[in-house]
Amino acid sequence: MTAIELRGVTKRYERFGPLRGRSITALHDVDLTVRSGEIFGFLGPNEAGKSTTIDLLLDYAAPTEGTVRVLENDVATESAAIRQRVGVLPNGYGAIASRSLVEVAHRKNRRPVRPARIRRPARPEPPRRSESSGCRRRCSRRF
């Protein structure tokens, strides 16, 4: 079974205002196949198209050209079927969201929540608004 398939995917964003008519190409002719059971990570520099690809896979944006399939379902026409089987945790939610997800998973499987297994943060850090998530991770490392 193919988990993710992109064929000839291009995504352009149109500009408005004084730069109208010029588009920004976020992805150009991307072909990607990830089979079920494989582990795949999106790595690359800033503005490489990682977030745009994820947005296309989740049907948050539509490709300008090409086809996107997730779990053998076409994202453009079978988005609801995909959302029933796929979950996403956006960056920046940290341990609090992870704890909540563990609790939800235990409840869904009708298992009691074991608080000793859930690590709670000592204190939440205040949000940093001016830095990218990558910069925040680099700055928060303790040497």
| Residuewise pLDDT in 10s, the chain (143 residues) | 899 999 999 999 888 777 677 788 999 999 999 999 888 888 888 888 888 999 899 888 999 999 999 999 999 999 889 888 887 766 655 554 555 656 666 565 555 555 555 555 566 566 555 556 666 666 665 44
Q: Are residues 23 and 36 in the same domain?
A: yes
DSSP symbols for 33-54? EEETT-------STTSSHHHHH
Question: CB of 8 within 8 A of CB of 66?
Answer: yes
- Asked whether the beta carbons of 75 and 68 are under 8 A apart, the reply is yes
CA distance 5 to 118: 35
6: containing domain: 2-85
Does residue 28 lie within any of the structural domains?
yes
Same domain, 59 and 112: no
DSSP designation for 39? -
Lookup result for tokens 């040497």: 143
The answer on 94 and 81 residing in a single domain is no
Say if pTM beats, i.e. exceeds, 0.75.
no
